[in-house]
Structure 1
């Protein structure tokens, strides 16, 4: 080693190795350092390790202790159960099946009643359009501002008698669909007629008031209009 490093170099390496060996004995691993040495260099004379008969010696230097951060126990995140929301990408028939159960509040019940008596024999799209007209009227400023007020307004819906609704079978399939349609309309889950459509009539009648309006479309037996 003297040939490679010189006397001072050897002394410096020896001091370095001594300082390393004097480190912590509780090492996590050991580093293998291979030093070329002369045949006549005896590491025992330096107080390090026994010399080997080969042209190199392996000095085992304890590596410094590695302190790893202790893993913190994962804190339990609060479990939040999201409310079930029916996707509006589903077909209308699937939305009706998913929304047909449960009680309705007064406003939704008035809307469902209008759907039932005005369009219970119509396609689901036509029933939804009827519900949308009732909602459009309530939001228009031209009619009562509540759904029940719109449905019960005098001389607007022929099934209403003196502000009262006729009786119906609450267990029939038509009422189940009407309840579902009312919920779907109130949640705006499916686009139906535009918000400015405020009138409709059956295609087997020809009311005079239609002449002042613009026909938008016909769904089933109902023709829908805007001003």
Structure 2
């Protein structure tokens, strides 16, 4: 039963052994029409408003020593995850963010880039960060071990957080929809109403998860400077 239930997340559409499900990653570009680049319309105003808000918040988290344009990496990450989360709520569209293949690639790439930059350019700061100020000498080896482990598992926690949250909502929607065949007519109204509420909740989760991943990535980046 559980194997059949989780198999709904498997990439099954293919052509010449090429999994076409992953093409859904690029469907997000359809949200950027040609008029976005030429005419200041409502879409442009909303996009610009969100980008400016994120830019100010990420710039504050990165601190005064951040490089110019570094906030745009995390703004792009936010919109990329947001589009893919939302696209998974539409029928017959593959949910890419419900797979560790995508979420782990994103988090691991960012984490590795932060670590390589930090250890090459700010080696002393990276060593200092492993031992909090005021730590007794006898506890220093344990603190180094704990900080190292917590630092190594960061990309996995980011990936699992995103994947688990997206899978949980989709599984609940699937389970409820499968019970509709054996329901009476008056119960179907309650089921449809509950499904609509769950879709609204999942829309909020899609936004929150994109925001959380972007904020945590920004905080991890600020620690290596």
Higher relative contact order (CA 8 A, sep 6+): 2
Shorter-chain TM-score: which interval? Answer: under 0.3
Q: TM-score, normalised by structure 2?
A: 0.18
Q: TM-score, normalised by structure 1?
A: 0.18
Higher strand share: 1
- Name the larger-Rg structure: 1
Q: Which protein is richer in helix relative to its size?
A: 2
